[in-house]
């Protein structure tokens, strides 16, 4: 089955480059040149993934992202960002983007990310659990001790990776690779920041998340329900 990708990008050169490039990788590609038409296509069409530029005319990429994430929470979205747009990039990840690419990048690199995210999105095991945390990977629902929790897409991916590897120490590098698809450490503090989000959002009263910091090594999610 051919996966379909919507590319929302205003620069004609990049739009054509991605349309041709991703078609060569076997994707059915559609495009939109601005925020309003991109949002309406993404919300009404049947796409498996959206590639979204942040700087768009008519409506900002962040606003489109917010809309898509609220109305289509399971739709993976890869942001295209320019060098230096760090704040927008972090805002984008927090608003539910699955991943981002910094321009300039190669089609091969983008295609690899798309493949990885589609694999996650269509995984057949739907429910995983460790300690008192349960995730439905298909509906992207998280409960802790039976209570429904609200996480962004990146927080969800990070938690899912911990739960799948419960009891094992995971290094920063492993987390950067699994969740952000980095092959090398770009010097970001995304891991620390997102671990902080998970601990804060999944705390129930004084019951902490069983996510332990292993000093100068990494983190471990313990498969034991805290008292
Ligand atoms: Ca642009």
Number of other residues whose CB lies within 10 A of the CB of residue 90: 17
Query: Per CATH, which fold does 4-121 belong to?
Result: Rossmann fold (3.40.50)
Rounded to 10°, the helix 172-180/190-201 angle is: 80
* Ligand 1: centre distance to CA 82 (Å): 9
Residue 122 pLDDT level (bands cut at 50, 70, 90): low
Residue 181 pLDDT level (bands cut at 50, 70, 90): confident
The answer to whether residue 227 scores a pLDDT higher than 60 is: no
Please list, in sequence order, all residues whose beta carbon lies within 8 angstroms of the beta carbon of residue 6, skipping any fewer than 6 positions away.
Answer: 29, 30, 31, 32, 38, 41, 42, 45, 47, 49, 50, 51
Number of other residues whose CB lies within 10 A of the CB of residue 108: 10
Query: Per CATH, which fold does 127-221 belong to?
Result: Arc Repressor Mutant, subunit A (1.10.10)
* Ligand 1: centre distance to CA 54 (Å): 6
Q: What is the mean pLDDT of residues 112-130?
A: 79
* Ligand 1: centre distance to CA 184 (Å): 27
Asked whether the beta carbons of 42 and 72 are under 8 A apart, the reply is yes
Closest by CA to 8, choosing from 29, 31, 27, 28, is 31
Residue 149 pLDDT level (bands cut at 50, 70, 90): very high
Please list, in sequence order, all residues whose beta carbon lies within 8 angstroms of the beta carbon of residue 175, skipping any fewer than 6 positions away.
Answer: 158, 161, 191, 218, 219
The answer to whether residue 1 scores a pLDDT higher than 90 is: no
pLDDT tens readout for residues 62-101 = 999 999 998 988 899 999 998 788 888 888 888 889 999 9
| Local structure of 30: helix, strand or coil | strand
Q: What is the mean pLDDT of residues 152-166?
A: 92
* Ligand 1: centre distance to CA 7 (Å): 12
Torsion sign, CA atoms 159, 165, 169, 174 = negative
Number of other residues whose CB lies within 10 A of the CB of residue 56: 25
pLDDT recorded at residue 225: 60
* Ligand 1: centre distance to CA 12 (Å): 9
pLDDT recorded at residue 9: 97
Residue 226 pLDDT level (bands cut at 50, 70, 90): low
* Ligand 1: centre distance to CA 175 (Å): 29
Residue 193 pLDDT level (bands cut at 50, 70, 90): very high
In the chain, where the domains are located: 4-121, 127-221
* Ligand 1: centre distance to CA 218 (Å): 37
pLDDT tens readout for residues 19-62 = 999 998 889 999 999 999 999 999 999 999 999 999 999 999 99
Global confidence as pTM:
0.56
pLDDT recorded at residue 138: 72
* Ligand 1: centre distance to CA 45 (Å): 22
Using CA atoms, how far apart are residues 213 and 60, in angstroms rounded to an integer? 37
Residue 131 pLDDT level (bands cut at 50, 70, 90): very high
Asked whether the beta carbons of 89 and 61 are under 8 A apart, the reply is no
Beta strand pairing call for 218-221 and 169-171: antiparallel
Bridge partners, 30 (sequence order): 6
* Ligand 1: centre distance to CA 187 (Å): 26
Average pLDDT, the chain: 90
With vertex at residue 9, the alpha carbon angle to CA 6 and CA 13, rounded to the nearest 5 degrees, is: 115
Q: Which residues of 109-142 are buried (b: 16+ CB within 10 A; e: fewer)?
A: ebbebbeebbeebeeeeeebebbbbbbebeebbb
Residue 132 pLDDT level (bands cut at 50, 70, 90): very high
* Ligand 1: centre distance to CA 136 (Å): 35
Ramachandran area for residue 78 (φ above 0: left; ψ -120 to 50: alpha; else beta): beta
Q: Identify which has the larger pLDDT, 83 or 172.
A: 172
Beta strand pairing call for 141-144 and 147-149: antiparallel
Q: Do domains 4-121 and 127-221 have the same CATH topology?
A: no
């Amino acid at each position: 089955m051919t996966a379909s990708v919507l590319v929302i990008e205003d620069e004609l050169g990049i739009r054509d480059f991605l349309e041709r490039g991703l078609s060569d990788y076997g994707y059915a590609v559609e495009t939109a040149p601005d925020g309003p038409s991109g949002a309406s296509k993404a919300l009404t069409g049947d796409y498996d993934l959206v590639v979204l530029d942040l700087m768009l005319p008519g409506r900002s990429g962040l606003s489109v992202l917010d809309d898509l994430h609220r109305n289509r929470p399971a739709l993976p979205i890869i942001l295209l960002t320019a060098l230096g747009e760090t704040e927008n990039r972090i805002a984008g990840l927090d608003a539910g983007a699955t991943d981002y690419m910094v321009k300039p990048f190669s089609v091969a690199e983008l295609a690899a990310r798309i493949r990885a995210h589609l694999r996650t999105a269509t995984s057949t095991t739907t429910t995983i659990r460790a300690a008192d945390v349960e995730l439905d990977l298909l509906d992207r629902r998280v409960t802790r001790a039976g209570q429904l929790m609200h996480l962004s897409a990146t927080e969800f991916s990070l938690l899912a990776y911990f739960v799948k590897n419960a009891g094992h120490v995971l290094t920063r590098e492993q987390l950067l690779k699994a969740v952000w698809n980095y092959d090398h450490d770009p010097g970001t503090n995304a891991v620390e920041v997102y671990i902080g989000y998970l601990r804060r959002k999944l705390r129930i009263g004084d019951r902490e998340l069983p996510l332990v910091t292993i000093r100068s090594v990494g983190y471990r999610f313990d498969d034991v329900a805290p008292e």
